[in-house]
Amino acid sequence: MTGRLTDEERREAMASLPGWIAVEGRDAITRRFAFRDFSEAWGFMSRVALVAEAMDHHPEWFNVYKTVEVTLSTHDADGLTAKDVRLARAMDQIAGI
């Protein structure tokens, strides 16, 4: 099982993920991705879905047309873990950020 990030790990993680912010009132991080249209947003989500399934770690995400709002947290650990950081990095990479 993956444990929650320590304060030090959390600082390092957030420093390396400048587009992500902490969710208020919850040990989770969030980012809003904006694309050109639904096709591009869906392409992003499809690529992320494959990564998420392979990691067995899935995002909470909301899509409407060209925007995708993602929240990451680890249910089993009841908070932010290294898995969330890995998935956030993969999302940034897929989005070309």
Does 94 help bind a copy of itself (rule: CB under 8 A)? no
Give the interface segment with a copy of itself, choosing from 7-15, 16-24, 61-69, 86-94 (CB under 8 A): 61-69
Task: Give the residue with the Cβ less far from a copy of itself, 9 or 71.
Answer: 71
**Considering only 3-11, 19-27, 53-61, 85-93, which stretch makes contact with a copy of itself by CB under 8 A?**
53-61
62 contacts a copy of itself (rule: CB under 8 A): yes
Instruction: Return the HEC string of 35-93.
Output: CCCHHHHHHHHHHHHHHHHHHCCCCEEEEECCEEEEEECEHHHCECEHHHHHHHHHHHH
- Counting every residue written for the chain, the total comes to 97
Whose Cβ is closer to a copy of itself: residue 23's or residue 63's? 63
